[in-house]
Amino acid sequence: MQKHGFASKRNVLPYQTPRLRDHYVLGKKLGQGQFGTTYLCTHKVTGKLYACKSIPKRKLLCQEDYDDVWREIQIMHHLSEHPNVVQIQGTYEDSVFVHLVMELCAGGELFDRIIQKGHYSEKEAAKLIKTIVGVVEACHSLGVMHRDLKPENFLFDTPGEDAQMKATDFGLSVFHKPGQAFHDVVGSPYYVAPEVLCKQYGPEVDVWSAGVILYILLSGVPPFWAETEAGIFRQILNGDLDFVSEPWPSISENAKELVKKMLDRDPKKRISAHEVLCNPWIVDDIAPDKPLDSAVLTRLKLFSAMNKLKKMALRVCQFLRIHFSHIRGHSRKTFRGRNRWIERVV
């Protein structure tokens, strides 16, 4: 059993680093995750703004947590040349924190951006999913499986009209080899693939998650939902896709066919990331430019707001779990990893 505070005596990085505060000034808090807090930071020499994710080492209570952080850093470096992946600027470590300094994305999250714009079409959905699946294809070609694709993990680099969308948060990503199977249950409830819940899966799970995002982009609601996480998982395993309710009758057949291929429960039959990018709805510019029903934006706004409330509640629960596990001297194995709480619900 690890003693509380033991983590602070160990290093995550296999190399020595300068002090973060010798190079950057930390500013306001931008966001809060299970493991770390993200701050605005300014380079002392250039004045350029970045985002700094600071992870308290006291929260890394087992070797697996150390490995997760180091792997996230390696994967971000691995994908550093891709234009739609948040760039990592540098890593710093002291006795208390590990800091990841990254490109600042000041243009907001995917759904917030759509809602703010106020109008939306299939054509725009096709462009967005092309970018998302482009990141998936790049990951898979480099032997990386993301495992936690969801709209919150896609940010825009600037508030401007020509902003680029960037993938972020590779905390659950892993390196994989062809034919290698994974068995740990990770991800986020609405987006997790059925084979993840069955604890036997490969990189095809990322295409499923992208398919869920596409379904939401076109309809404003997830394809599988229920009032509880366990109910959501049962729907993912056995529920039917709804292409009857509004707005689906007015959505093009090409779009619906692509969604069906991405959400095939059999990973061997599921379309690959490369095949998605070659689909006529994506490449032939045939997606209609007609604005989608305003109800789609309304539902999207409600779904996004609900997700943010749930995330806040989950953050409180995770804090209490970790706090009481310290008091009781329990191992944190049950709760290890970002979003691995899913395993406790299945």
What residues are labeled active site?
Answer: 148
CA torsion, points 57, 60, 64, 66, in degrees to nearest 10? -10
Give 293: exposed, middle or buried? Use CB within 10 Å, 0-12, 13-18, 19+: middle
Which DSSP string corresponds to 109-177?
BHHHHHHHH---BHHHHHHHHHHHHHHHHHHHHTTEE-----GGGEEESSSSTTPPEEE---TT-EE--
Closest CA to 184 of 339, 22, 5, 13: 339
Largest CA distance in the chain: 60
53 is in an annotated binding site: yes
Length of the chain: 346
Instruction: Provide the annotated binding site.
Output: 53
Instruction: Provide the annotated binding site for ATP.
Output: 53
